[in-house]
Amino acid sequence: MSPRHAADPPRNLQARSILAGQAAAAAAEVEQALAQPADPTAAAFFDVDNTIMQGASIFLLARGLHERKFFSTRDIARAAWQQAYFKYVGVEDPEHISQARNAALEFIAGHEVSELEEIGEEVFDQYMAQKIWPGTRAMTQWHLDRGERVWLMTAAPVEIAQVIARRLGLTGGLGTVAEHVDGVYTGRLVGEMLHGESKAVAVRALAETEGLDLSRCHAYSDSFNDIPMLSLVGHPCAVNPDGALRSHAKENGWLIRDYRTGRKVASAGAKAAAAGAAGSAAWLIGRQLRRLR
């Protein structure tokens, strides 16, 4: 073998080493260029009911409380009707929400906060996890991947908001605060439900304490009631919107995302028929529950 050929392997090895070093350096440079640093002034706010998950979380909680003997079959039948109405008609009824709030406060009075938190974890596994909208879940992850904080905003109890946020890996959850003394619920609220304008107030307060620039923030909801919150941020988005919010979003050039399969624009007559079907379904649920008991 000639001297030239004998010297080739060392030269090739050296050249490959140089190429490997250059490639590693280039990869690190590309990675650094593509990486988006966390923006401490940006955040995203998500409504829960019919935005993050299908249906109303407070009624799923009511179902879990009923199974643990917090209240009667008649009470859960009423909650089932309200849940069915909300699911099929897709519109929040303030009277239903108020009734659910008062019932929940009545039934948790005298119970420990830790007990509701434990039940909330179980209810999430039993009923809520399967109702999370994959599309909205992906949107929360998109914000997290950008280094932004993500908060849930819901009229449900703050303990449930925190459970959902924790299980989805989000920054935190804000919800209705029930008064408790020495870890025991009194049956009263601290202020009012976190609903409508109250969500906007909470977002403003959070922006001030966290140093957020609302013009750089996003907000997501399905309900016309959350327009005050959506209007605060620079990037509002209507998710699975009710008719009033859909119209408002179109008029104002907001993003619209609908993850409901086979969705059709319902007429007033169709909504009435859906409400009737919901009532019948709830009656059957109540009847079956009574038989089981």
Encode pLDDT of 104-150 as tens digits: 566 677 888 888 889 999 999 999 999 999 999 999 999 999 999 99
pLDDT score recorded for residue 54: 93
Where does the pLDDT of residue 162 fall: very low under 50, low under 70, confident under 90, or very high at 90 and above? very high
pLDDT score recorded for residue 76: 54
Q: Which residues contact 176 (CB under 8 A, 6 or more apart)?
A: 101, 154, 155, 156, 157, 158, 189, 192, 193, 194, 195
The mean pLDDT of 7-31, rounded to a whole number, is 56
Residue 84 sits at the vertex; the CA angle it makes with 103 and 101, to the nearest 5 degrees, is 20
User: Could you tell me the two tokens for 273?
Assistant: 């028929």
| Cα–Cα dist 73/75, whole Å | 5
Q: Parallel, antiparallel, or unpaired: how do β-strands 184-189 and 178-181 relate?
A: antiparallel
pLDDT score recorded for residue 67: 84
pTM of the model: 0.71
Encode pLDDT of 199-250 as tens digits: 999 999 999 999 999 999 999 999 999 999 999 999 999 999 999 999 999 9
pLDDT score recorded for residue 18: 58
Instruction: Provide the annotated active-site residues.
Output: 47, 49
Question: How high is the mean pLDDT of the chain?
Answer: 77
| Cα–Cα dist 291/293, whole Å | 5
Separation in Å, CA 156 to CA 64, 121, 234 = 14, 14, 26
Kindly tell me if the per-residue pLDDT of 89 is higher than 90.
no
| Cα–Cα dist 240/180, whole Å | 35
Give the residue, 12 or 153, on which the prediction is more confident: 153
pLDDT score recorded for residue 123: 92
Q: Which residues contact 50 (CB under 8 A, 6 or more apart)?
A: 56, 86, 90, 222, 223, 240
pLDDT score recorded for residue 161: 94
